[in-house]
Amino acid sequence: MSSAPTPQAVLFDLDGTLVDTAPDLAEATNRLRDHHDLPRLPYETIRQQVSNGGSALVTLALGLEPTHSAHAAARDFLLERYAEAVAIHSQVFPGLQPLLARWEAAGRAWGIVTNKPRRYAVPLVETLGLKPGSLLCADDLPVKKPDPAPLLLAARQLQVAPTACWYVGDHRRDMQAARAAEMYAVAVRYGYIPTEETTDNWPADCWFETSTALSDHLAGWLDRPTHEIDGRKPT
């Protein structure tokens, strides 16, 4: 991490990186199971699939592949249940909310780039009291991660060069998008990662095991003299 560029702005993935949304998504998934008179799945089983989206959760819950004729209706049911309770148990991961308060107070920019549709992301972010300078969702552009376009647009909105941005995520596609955007790629291992996934071969620049370790590291940049943070030389 010694060669890390100064983070003029930090961009976060949402689910599994900034916010622990798995409890509410797990409940929606199990309500789909309830609807089909199936026993509920263990929370940890569902948690590992959360980052893969609603279709993956339908396949997990009912064994229906996306090509199955009943898949779309099941996905709609699951997402409607989620929309009804998008921020009941979801919480910002430990350490990150106070870090963001300090980051904002220091005049530093931050944002969210997520593959979550705006319909669910906006009420979640608002309920949690988060105020990102940029919020890019799955339906804001014709492409989404791992395409770098959403990250690059977020950097433009924050008026920060991509090379001065850190992008933090819990999925291989997050690291791919960050690298393609020429941002510093920060992987977190506390997110929604299947047990069989090998994170060591992700194209990341660094890894953090916990959200508190990540927040402590970012806070360390705020504790540096101003000229070290913004690149100005002392007079």
Q: Each residue of 107-117: pLDDT tens digit?
A: 999 999 999 99
Residues 6+ apart with CB under 8 A from 14: 21, 112, 114, 116, 121, 124, 125
Q: How confident is the model over 24-52, as pLDDT tens digits?
A: 999 999 999 999 999 999 999 999 998 88
Q: Which of the following is catalytic: 13, 24, 140, 170?
A: 13
Helix 118-127 vs helix 71-84: angle between axes, to the nearest 10 degrees? 20
Least confident of 7-16, 58-67, 221-230: 221-230
Q: Which of the following is catalytic: 15, 170, 174, 205?
A: 15
Cβ neighbours, 10 Å, residue 36: 10
Q: Are residues 68 and 110 located together in one domain of the fold?
A: no
CATH number of 199's domain: 3.40.50.1000
Q: Are residues 139 and 174 located together in one domain of the fold?
A: yes
Q: Where among 84, 108, 136 does a domain terminate? A: 84
**What was the pLDDT predicted at 9?**
97
User: What pLDDT band is residue 3 in, cutting at 50, 70 and 90?
Assistant: confident
Asked about 15 being catalytic, the answer comes back as yes
Q: Where among 84, 116, 134 does a domain terminate? A: 84
**Residues of the domain holding 45:** 22-84
Q: Are residues 129 and 176 located together in one domain of the fold?
A: yes
Task: Look at the pTM and tell me if it is higher than 0.75.
Answer: yes
Is the predicted pLDDT of residue 225 greater than 60, yes or no?
no
Q: How confident is the model over 195-212, as pLDDT tens digits?
A: 888 999 999 999 999 999
Asked about 174 being catalytic, the answer comes back as no
Q: Are residues 131 and 43 located together in one domain of the fold?
A: no
